[in-house]
């Protein structure tokens, strides 16, 4: 099977701690180049991971004719510029989430990608973990009946004034950084879009970013409630309640690749823990992206999906401002 030749735009901490291992051991993609605005930084990372090429500018990487696709782990406010430049360079794109700063920017990417025939996918890795695929199957066969409620919490503590996640201009804050997961999982579970949303946001006096945000998404017969925070002790859980039982997804978002995944299911058959073999969900993410390129099929997470996720984020910010429900 032919590997897709990949370049990476931006040598971030996230890349080095979570992404390089699955990329350098992948059977479906071959990382051949890194680019940083600091050439020494890209050279050091390339040497450490035995990557053949290192560039001192993002443009230089995009000008490399050997590269078929790029992965973009840049700060949120830089996504639009470099996704568009990558598309114009003829490179397929997988970009960290959230894809853009707002829904209008996502629409710009949608239109350009369609015009140029380029595949673009947002890197929601959780969807490719087998435990989430099992959740989807259980819901499809009504293993817990009709869904009535989804409760999600995702928190961590970050009080570093120099961290980009605490910079409003860079697209920081709880809703953008981790609220995007709560929204995405609820939409994935319900397999439809909410009609309206209500947001309650508390902003940091120091950073100007939202540090504690709660939201409600109205799916008609079901409600999805979430709380996300960048100022709390780390926690993450998703609980799904139906007319015939419940599902709890344990470590729902960033399972470690060497830890078994688990979900707890309660229904008419009793209570049980379903366990999954350790999975590197980033490897699964890149494999799905590479398959779409290799076979020239749609990416499994569409730009329309990304647009709707950003639309909901936009409306939650607006609801926080108005104190009212906002329609989707």
The CA distances from residue 113 to 9, 90, 125, 262, in Å, are 18, 10, 21, 37
The C-alpha atoms of residue 212 and residue 228 are separated, in whole angstroms, by 6
| Closest C-alpha among 148, 7, 20 to residue 70 | 7
**pLDDT the model gives residue 245:** 98
**pLDDT the model gives residue 256:** 85
**pLDDT the model gives residue 138:** 97
Q: Which helix (H) or strand (E) holds 320?
A: helix 303-322
The C-alpha atoms of residue 116 and residue 103 are separated, in whole angstroms, by 20
Reported pTM: 0.96
**pLDDT the model gives residue 253:** 97
Structural domains of the chain in order of their starting residue, each with its CATH number: 4-124+284-301 (3.40.50.720), 126-279+310-327 (3.30.360.10)
**pLDDT the model gives residue 108:** 99
Q: Running along the chain, 328 residues long, what does each successive block of 10 average in pLDDT?
A: 96 91 94 97 96 98 99 98 99 98 99 99 97 97 98 98 96 98 99 99 97 99 98 98 98 91 96 96 97 98 99 99 98
Scan for tokens 């999600």, then name that residue.
Answer: 152
**pLDDT the model gives residue 157:** 98
């Amino acid at each position: 099977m032919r590997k897709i030749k990949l370049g990476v735009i931006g040598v971030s901490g996230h890349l080095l701690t979570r992404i390089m291992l699955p990329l350098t051991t992948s059977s479906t993609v071959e990382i051949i180049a890194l680019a940083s605005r600091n050439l020494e930084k890209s050279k050091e990372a390339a040497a450490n991971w035995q990557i053949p090429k290192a560039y001192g500018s993002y443009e230089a990487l995009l000008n490399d004719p050997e590269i078929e696709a790029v992965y973009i782990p840049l700060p949120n406010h830089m996504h639009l510029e470099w996704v568009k430049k990558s598309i114009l360079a003829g490179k397929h794109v997988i970009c960290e989430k959230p894809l853009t700063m707002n829904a209008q920017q996502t629409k710009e990417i949608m239109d350009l990608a369609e015009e140029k025939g380029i595949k673009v996918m947002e890197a929601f890795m959780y969807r490719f973990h087998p435990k989430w695929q099992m959740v989807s199957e259980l819901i499809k066969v009504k293993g817990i009946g009709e869904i009535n409620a989804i409760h999600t919490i995702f928190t961590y503590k970050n009080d570093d004034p120099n961290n980009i996640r605490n910079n409003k201009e860079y697209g920081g804050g709880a809703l953008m950084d981790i609220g995007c997961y709560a929204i995405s999982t609820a939409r994935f579970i319900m397999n439809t879009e909410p009609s309206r949303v209500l947001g309650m946001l508390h902003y940091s006096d120091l950073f100007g970013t939202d540090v504690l945000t709660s939201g409600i998404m109205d799916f008609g017969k079901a409600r999805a409630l979430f709380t996300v925070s960048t100022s709390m002790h780390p926690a993450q859980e998703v609980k799904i309640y139906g007319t015939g039982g419940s599902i709890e997804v344990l470590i729902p978002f960033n399972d470690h690749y060497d830890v078994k995944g688990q979900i707890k299911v309660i229904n008419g058959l009793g209570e049980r823990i379903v366990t999954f073999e350790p999975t590197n969900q980033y490897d699964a993410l890149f494999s799905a992206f590479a398959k779409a390129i290799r076979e020239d099929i749609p990416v499994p997470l569409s730009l329309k999906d990304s647009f709707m996720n950003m639309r909901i984020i936009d409306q939650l910010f607006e609801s926080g401002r108005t104190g009212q429900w906002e329609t989707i």
